[in-house]
Structure 1
Amino acid sequence: MSKNTLFWFRRDLRLHDNAGLYQALKAGKPVIPIFIFDTNILDKLAEKQDRRVEFIHRAIGALQTELVALGSSLVVKYGTPEAIIPQLLDKYDVEAIYTNHDYELYGQHRDAMVQEYLQSEGVEFYTFKDQVIFEKDEVLSNTKTPYTVFTPYSRKWKEKLTDFYTKPYPTEKYFQHFAQISPVEVPSLESMGFVATGISFPAREVRDSIIQKYAENRDFPAISGTSRLSVHLRFGTLSIRALVKTAQRLSETWLNELIWRDFYFNILHHFPYIGEGHAFRKEYDSITWRNNPVEFEAWCKGKTGYPIVDAGMRELNATGFMHNRVRMIVASFLTKHLLIDWRWGEAYFAQKLLDFDFAANNGGWQWASGSGCDAAPYFRVFNPTLQTQKFDKQLEYIKKWVSELNTLSYPQPIVNHEFARKRVLDAYQKALKKE
């Protein structure tokens, strides 16, 4: 009797154009697809109405429907990979596990542990590049060092890009190699201790016209000028290769946004200390933050008295999404106006963002605070009033989220802009002079 192969879905929740799945199916042994709701991750989530868990659960349901139509089934488990994998080996007579690379520190630690165990059992473990175009050492400077500035990185990235890197993996050619097994029940959200929110998620398709006009519309939060595809990229319900091909056809500016994503994965790979809570530019770890908990709470709830900041935070809390221009404004406000450690903001976004991705979230927060690679200089302090005049002049976005604007119930500004600017420049200068 033929031994089986397992394909382990993680951040790649699709059957089509999936690198690791293609390799598993092409190898010719019966492929049993698996997904593990990893309690090492889930147990750390404070919010039981977690939109991301719900998104994953729905994506798993969609995958299951496709697999059942092919006479197969997804085997979905709830627990730790270190407990589940041995059970699956016992049950299915497995000779190899295939999956796609994970770049986050926990994922790398988990995969190393799983690989060590599989080796002891004589089971092969194969992982493949799927969620980025270029990874690890694929884009280096002429001196073979990692880029820490985006523009030269993106230039080299584009030089290196050929059709080979965007060619889809034709998994459907080998769908007959899925193991023919009876449908396996998917655990409900409730059985895992989570509660459905019932919210609607961004569509997996975006109109060409939005991408074509992306460069002119992307900074205006009242306009539907962005793709809203980030959550699909985060969980792999869309292929990065397909999106890069769309960007090549329609918008250089949108392509650059996809390259930023690769860039931040590249930074995490080469400078793993950022995954342990350190500033990319280590001298910025010397800053003395005020970290006022009352002011932090006001920022979290969107009650700072700065309408553009409050609108952004309320949008995030209500939907799990925040417009990218507004992300920069609220991050600058927290770190520069309130002198609150960027790590507090990073952790709050990690809790709330539907598209939360460690590398990009960390990169964005460090950029805003001045401590990151290719960051805004520390003395650049966004003026929320000027940002509003430039990007939401008619207050359309603000009024959507701050309904009590211009009433007595709306709070006074939490801090004076000029005062805050002088205070933060003084704090940064003192810290950076010590180095």
Structure 2
Amino acid sequence: MIPQELIRRKRDGGELDAADIRSFIDALAAGRLSEGQIGAFAMAVWFKGMSREETVALTLAMADSGDRLQWADIDRPIADKHSTGGVGDNVSLMLAPIAAACGLAVPMISGRGLGHTGGTLDKLESIPGYMITPDADLFHQVVKQAGCAIIGQTGALAPADGRLYAVRDVTATVDSIPLITASILSKKLAAGLQTLVLDVKAGNGAFMADRDQAEILARSLVEVANGAGVKTSALITDMNEPLADSAGNAVEMRNCLDFLAGRKGNTRLDTVVLAFAAEMLEKSGIAASPEEGEAMARQALSSGKAAEVFARMVSMLGGPADLIENPDKYLARAPVEKPVPAARSGWLAACDARGIGVSVIDLGGGRRHPADRIDHRVGFSELLSLGTRVNAGEPIALVHAADEAAAEKAAAALTAHYRITADEPVLNPVIAGLI
């Protein structure tokens, strides 16, 4: 395979065969391609796209560019979930232990915050001692004994994706659906999954703001994953407001513990978590139907079994054994906690979810540059849902900040992110579709 010939063929709209794609990715992983060649390939794909067969071949080649995890000694179905990212989206923290409590093994490899969206790993790092990059043996043991483990990607899994993504990030080719699909799924295939459910978000707080574009991405992910041998489905979910009633790191971890303790029922978050648990259990054959899967998930919550799984996972990965019983002992609080008053009376009709995520970054709860340190204490909690009736001056949220000036600035920004109307709004369903 001559790299420039492959690039030329794709540039001119030709279809690449699987052997040439694999040779190109092998050369990329081995460091035999220049950044110019990688960037030219990414741009050719951005302009000309890829067929489903090409995207499957690219995904498999990237998955095979490093280690593949093996779970032969675990007699449970191996399942996972992936989200395209949102604000106040801490679903993974509760979903993994719920699914594990119901009989699945969940080796969940998660990421850090990206842009205005929060990252599961950043939330977990608010727990003292929690190891997000354990060695392979410990990762395996935690999945085997606790039922789930939520960790970060190692360099040994799909390393070709890491190099390709770094070039895409600086060549304006991130938003190519074939490249997004291969990037997400190569890591999931390398994790040795049998089933996968995807949370593809649409709305002003999502990367895919347009519902039609979100559906195109969801279909690509589902078709390619199934074509690569992993039984996969996707739910399209609403991201026109924060999913949880908290946005930040330690505040979302507290929200997680409240959820596992049964204190977040009948919320949008509850609807999404249980829907994904039901889908995971049905797709893996643990439940005969989504309805049975949801009933199993509710039982895992109400019995306390999911909370026990979460506690075991945290303890085995270096965190405190009594986190659930004593969260205040371990989850740091911000020095300033200040209510954010409603600007006027009326209905919370709409909000800028992306703006809320950016406000968390402004507080120090996210990164502007990869090397930035995060203040895990800061963010917003007690966020009222859209469709809530408020009176002027009534709190719509609580801001957690490092000092008074930051709290005042964040409170003013949050107020500006909400629109209050005289009429009760008609809201989008939190789950918009299943693919």
TM-score (norm 1): 0.29
Larger radius of gyration: 1
**More helix by proportion, 1 or 2?**
1
Q: Which has the higher contact order (CA 8 A, sep 6+)?
A: 2
